[in-house]
Structure 1
Amino acid sequence: MTFSSSKNDKDLFASDHTFLSENSNKKSIIDNKVPLADQLRPMELEEVVGQNHLVGKKGIITRMINHGTLSSLILWGYPGTGKTTIARIISQYTNLRFVQISAIFSGVTELKKIFDEARKYRQQTGKGTLLFVDEIHRFNRTQQDSFLPVVEDGTIILIGATTENPSFVLNGALLSRCQLMVLKRLDEEALKQLIKRVEINTEKKLPLTDKALHVLIAMADGDGRYLLNMIEQLIKQNFDHKIDENALNELLSQKAVLYDKDRDGHYNLISALHKSLRGSDPDAALYWFARMLEGGEDPRYIARRLTRFASEDIGLASPNAQILAISAWESYERLGSPEGEIALAELVVYLATAPKSNAIYKAFNKARAVAKKTGSLMPPAHILNAPTKMMKELGYGKGYQYDHDTEEGFSGQNYFPDRMKREQFYFPTHRGTEEIISKRLEQWNKLRNK
């Protein structure tokens, strides 16, 4: 859908705009009735910090608006990165009717009403509706499907905001009709720009030492709104002296660890832990392990995943890994938190530093695939027991060699079905205990070939 810009029909960056220049509506804004974050909400795209790839001079959204080719968007990013702000600003550059709702408080009835009104507006004016849906992932599959026809025919341009991975929480059909825009967590430079904006607009310097300023930025953890809320607490107290890092920690609460045990954060962190273990980095593995615990993850879930790692990624390269995994799991069950978590931390370091092999994992999967194709083949007769006379007459057990009676303790007989060519599934590595196994198998292959 094309549209005309309501901002004088010219490029957003036709003239230079500097951060907090005269065009930035500088004003003193001590207003206790309105949150500081809302008072400082940007009114122009160039005032949005930390999202240059989207709203900078060459940003994707900037180009869309300049060329009048705005399409439906999904804005995906952590809290406090500017999703709502960007959506509101976009509405100022279109001649579309703007409607904003939250999926938390809206249902099918309200959506139907919005769609009906959008159709009437389009029939009367020939223009569409720009619908901003905050927390769009809160809508169920049926509610998400209701957007398809109105987005498809251009009645509505949808801008949905979500903190969850769209691949997990949004329908594929809806995603295919929207462009995904990923917002970055605000880095240190972006957060410093917000602090400078506060100081200019309030005409007050933050009463912080340099170290305390760094602590404040770290506490925000990439969340601009959280940073502004903390600053607001400091400003209202009117300190007549500088605050150091210790005093700051006493005055302000630490931002809660961003972690959702059944959504994107959960899968991201367990993946990071698993990959760090596989990459033999005990320090990184301990960090992700601690992040999960701090986020409230059940240590039993982590113990189960560590036990799985011991078999999948270490296997026979270090057989003790599986034993230690079960032992650490049992230790946690008996001790609980926090004492039992030490046993799991010990396991994390052991798994990270152990020799790695996925040879068993690959061998088992390959064997299963072959078993599905050859599932009707009988074992060779010589390895079948013959408890009855008839079975002996049929040749069951005939020619079987008892391996313990051979000189090498190895007969080299065939144990695959007669009509199946012998296959090798297990290829041990030359790491850890599997190096010994590899040499043993090589010796047996030589004896078998004789």
Structure 2
Amino acid sequence: MVEIPLAARLRPNSLTEVIGQSRALIENGPLARLISGDQTGSWPSVILWGPPGSGKTTIARLIGNNEKAHFLELSAVSASVAQVRELIAKAKELKNLYDRPTVLFLDEVHRFSKSQQDSLLNAVESGIITLVAATTENPSFSVITPLISRSVVVKLEPLNDADVLSIMNRALESDSGLPNATFETDALKYLAKISSGDARRALTLMEAAANGSSNSVSLESAKLAAQSTIVYDQAGDQHYDTISAFIKSVRGSDADSALHYLARMIAGGEDPRFIARRLMILASEDVGLADPHALVLAEATAGTVERIGMPEGRIPLAQLTIYLALAPKSNRAYQAINMAMAAVEAANTKPVPAALRSTGAVGYKYPHDDPRGVLPQTYRDGDELFYHPSEHGFEAELAKRVEMIRKILAR
């Protein structure tokens, strides 16, 4: 028999058991009304935005416990548009038969592509379903605007260490928790701290530390348990370490290592759109004008991933990763704008030359009048050179043109 995880056994059954979200669950607020059944009129859709383990799933299921509504649940990680349509059809049937609202809990809504999110719009707008969507990503970037405009966005805060400790102590006191386990105070504090506000992770670590132990769990035992349960945590150090190693591998032209870290992120459930955004930055910052097509390909890949979703999205991500890793590299555009910004911030700005002003002052020389397309002309009062092209890839050709232009401009 498979034992239910501790975090699932301790999931709150009422509002009073929810710890650390008093602002989101304020009395007479939208969530409190949905949970208590005091909602009058149409039921508002809700987007729960918060870090892992902050209570998004718990709150959604408390809403689902409301006897006035039917409750359906779906994970965006594995769901297809066909499944969404099937659930909407079921919700429509239930509404026609019983005239009761259907609450659809969609976990990790940020994993849905734009087309998948679009498939929800009509049902939400017509009141066939009340959507309760959960996301760890900022909805402004991860949820389509029409869904946001039809929903109440509720931000859940990370739990503090005291909140996590309260939940852990409840686990030791509850018959459905770990009533036979004892923990040294330092061990509990340690597990609470490394959980970084994630109650689910704290309870998972507690369960691992207490497993098979007949004695009080010490600080050392807690550290060993934490080490043995390390997983890819989208909000923790591994998230930042892995994406850092990935970007540095691409920058270092090691396609195989870059693919290794890409696979680790995908297997760990990283948002593919986050990976695509980082590759877009890299295409400009680290490949730059050595291969201008890199940024075009990165933008196209981001759009493709957005449209097709996962798991197929891993293929264009791999293609882009290999392309960028093997592309010639240049960070000269990145350096150039940084140098120009530094000059501006140092108040090194002077009036725009009269011939260039919008008032149509006389003296402007039209570059196309010269067969070279360049004329000697003063474009600013200053001689700092910000752009210094490299000799890599296409930028080597640009370097020749820069040299020619600067001779004409007398720079």
Q: What interval of TM-score do these two structures reach, taking the shorter chain for normalisation?
A: 0.5 to 0.7
State the partner residue of 1:114.
Answer: 87
The TM-score, its normalising length taken from structure 1, stands at 0.53
State the partner residue of 2:244.
Answer: 296
Alpha carbons of 1:379 and 1:160: their partners in 2 closer, same or farther (altered >3 Å)? same
State the partner residue of 1:36.
Answer: 6
Are 1:52 and 2:46 an aligned pair?
A: no
* Partner deviation per Cα, 1:400-444 (whole Å, 9 max, x = no partner): xxxxxxxxxxxxxx957xxxxxx9899xxxxxxxxxxxxxxxxxx
State the partner residue of 1:213.
Answer: 188
The CA RMSD measured in Å over matched residues stands at 4.3
* Partner deviation per Cα, 1:374-414 (whole Å, 9 max, x = no partner): 79975479xx99xxxxxxxxxx99xxxxxxxxxxxxxxxx9
Are 1:359 and 2:337 an aligned pair?
A: no
Moved more, 136-145 or 221-230: 136-145
User: How many Å separate the matches in 2 of 1:50 and 1:96?
Assistant: 26
* Partner deviation per Cα, 1:268-304 (whole Å, 9 max, x = no partner): xxxxxxxxxxxxxxxxxxxx9x994476353589999
* Partner deviation per Cα, 1:22-80 (whole Å, 9 max, x = no partner): xxxxxxxxx97111111111111221111111225465411455541441001111111
Which amino acid letter does the alignment assign opposite residue 36 of structure 1? L
Are 1:124 and 2:97 an aligned pair?
A: yes
Q: Aligned runs of 1:257-336 on 2, under 5 Å?
A: 258-259=233-234, 292-293=240-241, 296-297=244-245, 298-299=247-248
* Partner deviation per Cα, 1:154-180 (whole Å, 9 max, x = no partner): 111011111222111111011110111
State the partner residue of 1:222.
Answer: 197
Give the number of equivalent residue pairs.
285
User: How many Å separate the matches in 2 of 1:248 and 1:219?
Assistant: 11
User: How many Å separate the matches in 1 of 2:351 and 2:90?
Assistant: 58
User: How many Å separate the matches in 2 of 1:123 and 1:364?
Assistant: 68
Which amino acid letter does the alignment assign opposite residue 235 of structure 1? A
Q: Return the offset for 1:103.
A: 1.5
The SS at the match of 2:159 is coil
* Partner deviation per Cα, 1:2-33 (whole Å, 9 max, x = no partner): xxxxxxxxxxxxxxxxxxxxxxxxxxxxx971
- Choose which of 169, 173, 192 in structure 2 pairs with 1:196: 169
Q: Return the offset for 1:151.
A: 0.9
User: How many Å separate the matches in 2 of 1:239 and 1:201?
Assistant: 18
State the partner residue of 2:397.
Answer: none
Unpaired stretches in structure 1, ≥5 consecutive residues: 1-30, 266-287, 309-355, 386-395, 398-413, 417-422, 427-450
User: How many Å separate the matches in 2 of 1:195 and 1:97?
Assistant: 32
Q: Return the offset for 1:235.
A: 2.3
State the partner residue of 2:146.
Answer: 173
User: How many Å separate the matches in 2 of 1:180 and 1:61?
Assistant: 10
Which amino acid letter does the alignment assign opposite residue 77 of structure 2? I
State the partner residue of 1:250.
Answer: 224
User: How many Å separate the matches in 2 of 1:364 and 1:301?
Assistant: 37
Which amino acid letter does the alignment assign opposite residue 12 of structure 2? P
Contact 2:210 / 2:217 at 8 angstroms: preserved in 1? no
The SS at the match of 1:180 is strand
State the partner residue of 2:300.
Answer: none
User: How many Å separate the matches in 2 of 1:366 and 1:103?
Assistant: 54
Alpha carbons of 1:64 and 1:124: their partners in 2 closer, same or farther (altered >3 Å)? closer
State the partner residue of 2:215.
Answer: 240
Contact 2:12 / 2:58 at 8 angstroms: preserved in 1? yes
Which amino acid letter does the alignment assign opposite residue 226 of structure 2? L
User: How many Å separate the matches in 1 of 2:212 and 2:344?
Assistant: 63
Alpha carbons of 1:147 and 1:242: their partners in 2 closer, same or farther (altered >3 Å)? closer
Contact 1:99 / 1:130 at 8 angstroms: preserved in 2? yes
State the partner residue of 1:68.
Answer: 39
